[in-house]
Chain A
Amino acid sequence: MQHAFTALGKASASLFGLVLIALVFALRSAFSTLEEPEDFHEYSNWISMAGVATFLYFGFCFVVAFRLLEDATSTPEVVLITAIFTVLVIAAHGGELLALQRLVSRFEECRKLALAQVVLVVALFGLTEVLMWTSLAGTSDATVDHRVYLAVSWVLFAASVRAVALVGSGFWALSLMLASGRVQPAAQFRIEEGD
Chain B
Amino acid sequence: MQDGFSTLATASATLLGLVLVAVVFAYRSTFTRLDRIADFKDLARWIWTSGFSCFLYFGICLLVSFRMMEKETSKPALVIILAFFSVVLIVTHVFETRFLHKMARYDPPHFRGIVIAQDLLVTFVLVFFEVYIWYAVAHGSAAVFQLELYTALSYTLIEPGSGRVQFQPQSRCLMLSNSSADISPAAYLSCAIPSGVSGTSFPRTISVR
Interface residues of A (CB under 8 A from B): 1, 3-4, 6-8, 10-12, 14-15, 17-19, 21-22, 25-26, 28-29, 32-33, 146, 149-150, 153-154, 156-157, 160-161, 163-164, 167-168, 171-172, 174-175, 178-179, 185, 187, 190-191, 193-195
Closest to B187 in A: A187
Closest to A21 in B: B21
Task: Tell me whether B62 and A25 are in contact (CB under 8 A).
Answer: no
Which of chain A's residues have a CB closer than 8 A to the CB of B66?
Answer: 4, 7-8, 149, 153
Which of chain B's residues have a CB closer than 8 A to the CB of A163?
Answer: 20
Which 10 pairs from chain A and chain B are nearest by CB? A18-B17, A11-B13, A4-B69, A153-B66, A7-B9, A3-B2, A29-B28, A7-B6, A191-B188, A3-B6
Which of chain B's residues have a CB closer than 8 A to the CB of A161?
Answer: 55, 59
Chain B interface size, under 10 / 10 to 19 / 20 to 34 / 35 or more: 35 or more
Task: Tell me whether B63 and A153 are in contact (CB under 8 A).
Answer: yes
Task: Tell me whether B21 and A178 are in contact (CB under 8 A).
Answer: no
Task: Tell me whether B28 and A11 are in contact (CB under 8 A).
Answer: no
- Which one, B44-52, B108-116, B132-140, B162-170, is touching chain A? B44-52
* CB within 8 Å of A: which B1-53 residues: 2-3, 5-7, 9-10, 12-14, 16-21, 23-25, 27-29, 31-32, 37-38, 40-41, 44, 48, 51-52
By secondary structure, the A interface counts as: helix
B173 at the interface (CB under 8 A from A): no
17 A-B contacts (beta carbon < 8 Å): A1-B70, A7-B6, A8-B9, A15-B17, A29-B28, A29-B31, A33-B32, A160-B17, A163-B20, A164-B19, A167-B23, A171-B27, A172-B44, A175-B37, A175-B41, A190-B188, A195-B29
The complex places the Cα of A33 from the Cα of B35 at a distance, in Å, of 11
Task: Tell me whether A187 and B188 are in contact (CB under 8 A).
Answer: yes
Which of chain B's residues have a CB closer than 8 A to the CB of A4?
Answer: 2, 5-6, 66, 69-70
Task: Tell me whether A14 and B62 are in contact (CB under 8 A).
Answer: no
Closest to B27 in A: A171
The complex places the Cα of A12 from the Cα of B38 at a distance, in Å, of 37
What distance in Å separates the Cβ of B157 from its nearest Cβ neighbour in chain A? 13
Which of chain A's residues have a CB closer than 8 A to the CB of B187?
Answer: 187
Task: Tell me whether B2 and A179 are in contact (CB under 8 A).
Answer: no
B71 at the interface (CB under 8 A from A): yes
What distance in Å separates the Cβ of A22 from its nearest Cβ neighbour in chain B? 5
